[in-house]
């Protein structure tokens, strides 16, 4: 994995040493020698991660980190503070400023590289979500997700630990702000994660009853555990386990003896990141739904139907089963808009869409084709069955007036329907559309309020 790393330190020798080590590991390195230069370089070079010294003249590393995390454009960029400060209070101050990790010099090279790779992998997943969200914004489908600066976050936390005294300590430290539960066996941990909506999992890698690393691997393989952050607890100096944990996708770690304030800070950081990622995923899902859905009626839109019809036709040709295409048009709909207004016209369209949805099967594809035209694509369906469904819908529309919000309170409308079915393996979607449209044209010319099937 390659990545662009911004190294920030006011001492030239420190910068050059880190630059040499990172370059050897095939990272691209950008350097800065002050807080302000670091902020400028972030805007210019778009780094994947920042290695930041704390003790710098002018603007110190804490303030630089706070500014990075306060900027919606850079808040997702991981920041690792690499400093000579070694007190628990210093680590907590760094984490409170928004740092993703706080490493004390001299830093073990293997541990540093493992942490950089781990954070970069996590950032790349966030970058993909951010890119998809940006596409949704450019299409005017949604607003951007919030940043990582939520001041108060709480969540459901699962502690996996087989020492009762440790469970009690972690629970006592977290239960005031979070919903905390605990398990002490491998099997129970998997059952809980499969069935629970957890926001964070804390795993002790030094458990006596089973291999904590294997458990982390199993949790990551579960669909329910794939996006849940994992915070592992390791013994101080156990570089091998920590490195392996980071390589398999663990999000963060604590070393024993655990400082309570550091625990609270790291938990808060991971919950903020999960909230942000969840919002991104929700926005991406929303943009996908909005891109394929007609906003007025809730049915699929023409763009989705046009693309999906090709797949349905291919499937029909392979299976040798028929596919029916039904196109419907509300008769004299222009007069509804002219006489009652477009808002009443919209009410009629919404009600018509509801009746279509109520009369078709789950496997059928119902779409608003445009204006007052609607389409239903019916897989595994011959013309006779499609005609029966269409006739039932036509009668329902004719005999049951549509309720509207203004006088006269109800409107009686009718619809015309054209039907065509797939004929040959080389038939294209546009051919099927054309034949159905011709059948609809004959229904209109024949007096409207009728169903006509393509005779070809």
Residues known to be catalytic:
372
428 DSSP assignment: -
d(CA 439, CA 434): 9
Contact status, residue 112 vs residue 103, Cβ threshold 8 Å = yes
381 DSSP assignment: -
DSSP 294-307: -TTT-SB-HHHHHH
The dihedrals phi and psi of 289, each to the nearest 5 degrees, come to: -65, -40
379 DSSP assignment: E
Contact status, residue 216 vs residue 250, Cβ threshold 8 Å = yes
Residues 6 or more apart whose Cβ sits within 8 Å of residue 120: 1, 3, 48, 49, 78
Angle made by CA atoms 145, 151, 154, in degrees to the nearest 5: 90
DSSP 26-47: T-EEEEESSHHHHHHHHHHH--
Kindly list the distances between the CA atom of residue 142 and the CA atoms of 132, 277, 290, in Å, as whole numbers in the listed order: 11, 16, 9
107 DSSP assignment: P
Q: Hey, what are 383's tokens? A: 């013309």
- Quick one: 182 exposed, middle or buried, by C-beta within 10 A (0-12, 13-18, 19+)? buried
Nearest to 232 by CA among 99, 222, 244: 244
Coil, helix or strand at residue 415: strand
Q: How many residues does the chain have?
A: 456
Contact status, residue 432 vs residue 454, Cβ threshold 8 Å = no
- Quick one: 24 exposed, middle or buried, by C-beta within 10 A (0-12, 13-18, 19+)? exposed
Secondary structure percentages of the chain, helix, strand, coil, to 5 = 50, 20, 30
Name the H helices within 329-399. 333-340, 342-359, 383-399
Q: Hey, what are 33's tokens? A: 């020698």
Which residue reads 């006592």 in tokens? Answer: 172
Phi-psi region of 352 (alpha: psi -120 to 50; beta: other; left: phi over 0): alpha
């Amino acid at each position: 994995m390659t990545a662009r790393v911004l190294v920030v330190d006011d001492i030239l020798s420190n910068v050059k040493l880190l630059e040499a080590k990172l370059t050897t590991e095939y990272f691209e390195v950008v350097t800065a020698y002050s807080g302000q230069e670091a902020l400028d370089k972030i805007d210019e070079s778009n780094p994947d991660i920042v290695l930041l010294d704390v003790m710098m003249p002018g603007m110190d590393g804490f303030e630089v980190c706070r500014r990075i995390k306060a900027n919606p454009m850079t808040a997702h960029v991981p920041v690792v503070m690499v400093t000579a400060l070694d007190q628990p209070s210093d680590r907590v101050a760094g984490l409170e400023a928004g740092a993703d990790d706080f490493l004390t010099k001299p830093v073990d090279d293997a541990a540093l590289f493992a942490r950089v790779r781990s954070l970069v992998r996590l950032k790349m997943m966030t970058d993909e979500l951010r890119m998809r969200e940006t596409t949704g914004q450019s299409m005017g489908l949604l607003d951007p997700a919030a940043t990582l600066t939520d001041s108060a976050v709480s969540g459901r936390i699962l502690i996996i630990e087989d020492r009762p005294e440790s469970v009690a300590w972690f629970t006592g430290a977290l239960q005031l702000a979070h919903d905390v539960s605990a398990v002490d066996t491998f099997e129970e941990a998997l059952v809980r994660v499969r069935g629970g909506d957890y926001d964070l999992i804390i795993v002790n890698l030094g458990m006596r009853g089973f291999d904590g690393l294997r458990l982390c691997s199993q949790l990551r393989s579960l669909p329910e555990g794939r996006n849940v952050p994992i915070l592992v607890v390791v013994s101080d100096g156990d570089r091998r386990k920590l490195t392996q944990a980071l390589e398999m996708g663990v999000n963060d770690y604590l070393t024993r003896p655990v400082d309570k304030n550091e625990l609270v800070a790291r938990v808060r950081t991971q919950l903020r990141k999960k909230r942000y990622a969840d919002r991104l995923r929700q926005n991406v899902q929303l943009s996908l739904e909005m891109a394929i859905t007609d906003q007025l009626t809730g049915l699929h839109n023409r763009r989705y139907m046009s693309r999906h019809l090709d797949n349905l036709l291919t499937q029909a040709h392979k299976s040798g089963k028929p596919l029916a295409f039904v196109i419907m048009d509300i008769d004299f709909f222009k007069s509804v808009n002219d006489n009652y207004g477009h808002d009443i016209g919209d009410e009629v369209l919404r009600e018509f869409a509801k009746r279509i949805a109520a009369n078709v099967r789950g496997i059928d594809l119902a779409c608003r084709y445009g204006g007052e035209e609607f389409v239903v694509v019916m897989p595994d369906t011959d013309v006779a069955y499609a005609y029966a469904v269409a006739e039932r819908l036509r009668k329902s529309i004719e005999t049951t007036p549509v309720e509207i919000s203004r006088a006269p309170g109800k409107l009686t409308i009718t619809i015309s329907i054209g039907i065509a079915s797939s004929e040959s393996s080389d038939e294209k979607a546009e051919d099927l559309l054309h034949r159905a449209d011709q059948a609809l044209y004959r229904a209109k010319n024949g007096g409207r309020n009728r169903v006509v099937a393509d005779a070809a």
